[in-house]
C-alpha cells in the first residue's frame, strides 16, 4: 500500500491512502446510472456472482471517485495486466487478482510507501526476501514487474492454501494473517462480512477497494469478490473445483498448473501420466464434469514430473479421449434405438 507516490503524469492527483485517483470533476449521475445497470447485471449476469448488499454503497462511491482513472488505466496498463495474467495463470490463480496491484501501487513499479513497501505489489523487504527476491542497497527486485509478480503469486497462493477464502486472503495481504485470525476468533466467524469490523479499518477497506476495482474494470464480480460460502451458493459447479482441491502446502508448491480445453478425459490422462485415478482427482476434482460443461476449460494441476508427461503426450491423450467419447455416444445411441424398438 502506498502512502506517497511520485507521478510524472500531468494530471492533478489526490491520494486516498491506498489508491491514487484523478482530482477532476466527474458527472456522478452518469456513474450512478452506470452502477445501477452494472449491479443489476451482477445479480442476473452470466457468471452468477452477486455483489454483497453490505458492499453496495462503498463500491458505488468508489466507482464515482475512480472510474475515469481506471478507464485510462485499461489502455496504458494493458501490457502490465497481460504480464500479470500470464504469471497468475501459471500458478492456477484467478486472473482478477491483478487488481490487487492496482490498489496497492496504481501499477507503478517505482511506488514506495512510507513504511518501506515497494514495487507494484508493495512487498515489504523481509517478505520479499522470504519469497526469493533480492533487496539490498544495490538491487531491489521488488521493482521488477516480472520478478515481483512471481513473488506475489507465490504469496497469494500460500495465503489461499492457508485461509481458503479470497476475501480473507486480500485482508491478510494488507494486514497480515495475525489480524485475520484475531478477527475470526473475536467474531466467531470466518465470513468476511461478519468479521470485517474486527479487522483494522485499513484492511477492511482494502478488501472493499479490491472488490470495487474489479467491478469497475470488468462490470461484474467473480470468485475473488465472494466469500467461500457465497461462491459455493452462487457460482456454477464449473467454477468451484478450486475450492475442492485437497492439497497440502508442500504438494501445492511442488505442482504445476496448465489451463486446458478440449475433450480430455481424466481416465486417459491418468493412464498416460502413470497416475492413480484417485490421486488425479484429488489434484483435479470434478475434472470430467467441468470439461463436459459449456465452460470446457480447466486449470489442470499436477506434480511437475506428471505435467511433463502430460505435455509430452497431450495430442495422443486428446485423440484417445475423443475416440472414447465417440464410442460412448455410439453406444448410447444404440441403446436408445433398442429401447425404442
Q: 295 pLDDT exceeds 90?
A: no
Burial 256-292 (b: 16+ CB within 10 A, else e): bbbebeebbbbebbbebbebeeeebbebbbbbeebbe
> What tens digit of pLDDT does each residue of 122-155 get?
999 999 999 999 999 999 999 999 999 999 999 9
The answer to whether residue 173 scores a pLDDT higher than 90 is yes
DSSP labels, 45-114: SSS-----GGGHHHHHHHHHHHHHHHHHHHHHTHHHHHHHHHHHHHTT--GGGGHHHHHHHTT-TT-B-T
Asked whether the beta carbons of 272 and 309 are under 8 A apart, the reply is yes
Please report which confidence band the pLDDT of residue 232 belongs to, taking 50, 70 and 90 as the band edges: confident
Q: Bin 274: left if φ > 0, else alpha if -120 < ψ < 50, else beta.
A: left
Ranges 22-31, 40-49, 121-130, 330-339: which has the least confidence: 22-31
CA 243 to chain CA mean position, Å: 13
* pLDDT, tens digit, 9 for 90 and up, residues 44-82: 445 668 889 899 889 889 988 998 999 999 999 999 999
CA distance 183 to 127: 22
Please report the beta strands in the chain, taking only residues with DSSP state E, as ranges in sequence order.
13-15, 20-22, 255-261, 297-303
Whole-angstrom Cα distance, residue 19 to residue 104? 7
For residue 13 the three cell numbers come to 492527483
Does the pTM exceed 0.75? no
pLDDT band at 286 (very low <50, low <70, confident <90, very high): confident
> Which pLDDT score is estimated for 195?
97
pLDDT digits (tens, 9 = 90+) for 86-128: 898 888 888 999 999 999 999 999 999 999 999 999 999 999 9
Assigned C-alpha cell, 333:
445411441
Amino acid at each position: 500500500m502506498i502512502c506517497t507516490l511520485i507521478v510524472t503524469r500531468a494530471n492533478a492527483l489526490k491520494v486516498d491512502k491506498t489508491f491514487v485517483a484523478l482530482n477532476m470533476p466527474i458527472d456522478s449521475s452518469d456513474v450512478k446510472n452506470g452502477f445501477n445497470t452494472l449491479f443489476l447485471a451482477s445479480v442476473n449476469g452470466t457468471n452468477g456472482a452477486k455483489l454483497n448488499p453490505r458492499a453496495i454503497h462503498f463500491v458505488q462511491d468508489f466507482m464515482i471517485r475512480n472510474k475515469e482513472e481506471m478507464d485510462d488505466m485499461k489502455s496504458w496498463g494493458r501490457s502490465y495486466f497481460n504480464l500479470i495474467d500470464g504469471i497468475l495463470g501459471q500458478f492456477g490463480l484467478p486472473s482478477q487478482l491483478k487488481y490487487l496491484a492496482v490498489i496497492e501501487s496504481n501499477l507503478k513499479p517505482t511506488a514506495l510507501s512510507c513504511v518501506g513497501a515497494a514495487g507494484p505489489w508493495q512487498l515489504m523487504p523481509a517478505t520479499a526476501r522470504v519469497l526469493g527476491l533480492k533487496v539490498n542497497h544495490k538491487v531491489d527486485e521488488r521493482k521488477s514487474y516480472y520478478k515481483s509478480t512471481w513473488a506475489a503469486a507465490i504469496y497469494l497462493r500460500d495465503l489461499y492454501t492457508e485461509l481458503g477464502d479470497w476475501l480473507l486472503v486480500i485482508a491478510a495481504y494488507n494486514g497480515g494473517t495475525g489480524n485475520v485470525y484475531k478477527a475470526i476468533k473475536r467474531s466467531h466467524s470466518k465470513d468476511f462480512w461478519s468479521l470485517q469490523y474486527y479487522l483494522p479499518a485499513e484492511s477492511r477497506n482494502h478488501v472493499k477497494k479490491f472488490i470495487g476495482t474489479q467491478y469497475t474494470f470488468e462490470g461484474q464480480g467473480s470468485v475473488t469478490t465472494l466469500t467461500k460460502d457465497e461462491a459455493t451458493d452462487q457460482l456454477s459447479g464449473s467454477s468451484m473445483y478450486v475450492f475442492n482441491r485437497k492439497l497440502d502446502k508442500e504438494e501445492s508448491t511442488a505442482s504445476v498448473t496448465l489451463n486446458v480445453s478440449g475433450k480430455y478425459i481424466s481416465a486417459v490422462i491418468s493412464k498416460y501420466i502413470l497416475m492413480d485415478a484417485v490421486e488425479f482427482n484429488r489434484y483435479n476434482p470434478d475434472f470430467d464434469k467441468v470439461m463436459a460443461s459449456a465452460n470446457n476449460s480447466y486449470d489442470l494441476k499436477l506434480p511437475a514430473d506428471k505435467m511433463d508427461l502430460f505435455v509430452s503426450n497431450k495430442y495422443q491423450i486428446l485423440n484417445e479421449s475423443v475416440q472414447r467419447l465417440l464410442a460412448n455416444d455410439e453406444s448410447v445411441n444404440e441403446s436408445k434405438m433398442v429401447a425404442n424398438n
